[in-house]
Structure 1
Amino acid sequence: MLYVLVSNAVLKFEVFPLTVATSIGQPGVDCHCSHDAEVAISQILFLVNEGALVTVTSDDHLHLWNFRQKQPSIVHSLKFQRENSRKTHPGPVVHLSDNPVDSNKLLIGFESGAIVFWDLKTKSAEYRYNSQEALRSISWHNEGKQFMCSHSDGSLSTWNVKTPQRAVSITSPHAKIGPDGKAEPCKPISKVEWRSTRMGEPMVVFSGGMSYDRSGRTPSITVMAGKSTTVLEMEHNVVDFVSLCDTPWVNDFQDPYAIVVLLQNDLVVIDLTTPGYPCFENPYPMDLHESPVTACQYYANCPMDIIPALYSTGKNQKKSGFSEK
């Protein structure tokens, strides 16, 4: 069973079950959970095949939730103390992940552009990388030998783990080349995901990075697959996104089939298996900041054919531009 989690960045989260027979957006919240303290939820992480997840809160706590019971609950909480280990701090941490093929190696990314490849066994830095531009996010290649960074100037840099001296490549997907032959700065790429495919070239998905030459440019998600680059315009600002893959194992071929995009006032799911990357049609608006329920009325002894008639009426609305899956 695949779960999609949505947090409202305050103190609660909901879990939606998605099965093969369940359409995207269908009502059916599996559970509703909240922390005792009124603190913001900054990150949620599932533990594969463990029936558990970890929540990270703004008060420097890690909470382990057990979902193998009727009512999920916190079974363990861990408090981290703020410590300084050097005189000059490299800045806020914007990324933290383990190597896909070696969980004893951590990749720590700082906003200033400094990146550290940390060995948990020896408790020391194995490699250090320095980017000239501020760092926004990092994504591993599934083989664990390379990683990709997104930066505040709209560029993407690719690094070899064992070659910290310089980046393998630096590209600005949406930048225009100026008279001096250099790429013009673009808006920051807030997040990038580097996903491998079994049958072809890797797929790169990122948000932001558009040119500054047009004011009020529509927020967008960019999908780069091989030599093809597709810009998907969004109706609202992009808060976050995550690609849905055929496997939960980060060291395997991901083969992404959809992208879930959390917008400021909507939630959309993009179909990556259909040409043009259409969106799945939601049965109703998905504004997560407001409850969609405005009234409730119970009717007894309804005719047996009324429910099929309602479903049939909804299907008769032929809307173009949506995925047929």
Structure 2
Amino acid sequence: MNNTRARPSLLQQSVVQSVVQSVVQSVVQSVVQSVVQSVVQSVVQSEETDLQGNLPGCFLPTVEHGFPHQPSALGFSDSLHLMAIGTRSGAIKIYGSPGVEFMGLHDENNAVTKISFVPNQCRLITLLDDNSLHLWTFRHQDGSSELHEEKKFTLRGPPGWVENSPPSLTQIKVLLAHSSGELLFVGTEGGTVFTLALPSLHILEEKTISLEIVPFSLPDEYTSRRPFESVEALQEHPRNPEQLLMGYSRGLMMVWDVTAGAQLENVYWCRDGKQIISCHSDGGYSQWAGSGERTQESPLEKKVPYGPFRCKAICKISWLSSRKG
């Protein structure tokens, strides 16, 4: 009889123990969860308070790294060994040796179309699709260097035509910063080459190469053909900085004396300055003599690499020398 009564008591004890354990576990879990939640909330609130005190209103980005999104322009400085990339959103990213990286942002949300470094200076010039020019410089501040916009300028029109000239006449097509670091040549869609002073970015009217001046330096057979459309290329003579090579959209090339203001698809000087190479819309390129006062009616040599039939246009050409010449 005693043994029969003891068995139910053992079962009851095991049931009670399991019930107690489950109750204790649930209570402990709920307590732990509530404690953790309260701690997390207090930490988050304190961090938000600190952030609101330091960054009122919103979070601000402090570091950007990597290749920019939607690149639209490229520039390179031989003297600084820096590469600049402009984007469609108006940003500029500059890269140098490993660890060297700068960023600038235009106030205007316009695409960057051209970038030109000023030779032998810590400056560069950008052109936006709204036809505005922006001068940037590297400024040392608080123990570090930063990219700073120094000045901006919008080309409105040639001298005397500021109010009435069509927009296409002043639409900038090409930029060339002179090796002196004091001049910026701006070729336009209307065929005029403006000369701007650096770093002020104001137009030097006496140095403007306009359509009214250039035809008087050409033979009669050229002036009747209206060879001037847009300025497609500007190149400085590699040995004589006073000579400027200008290429126009209809195939005319001219060497202009910057000091005297008289005559001497893309063009490029040979390294020694004795010859000029030009590329054309028929897929060919030509070599011209870079010296002499007479008018050249035909090139020294003309080639169509994938000819003899007309091919796609060669839009950009460079002439670099190798060890073999």
**Alignment TM-score, normalising by the size of structure 1:** 0.49
Select the structure of larger CA radius of gyration: 2
More helix by share: 2
More strand by share: 1
Q: Which has the higher contact order (CA 8 A, sep 6+)?
A: 1
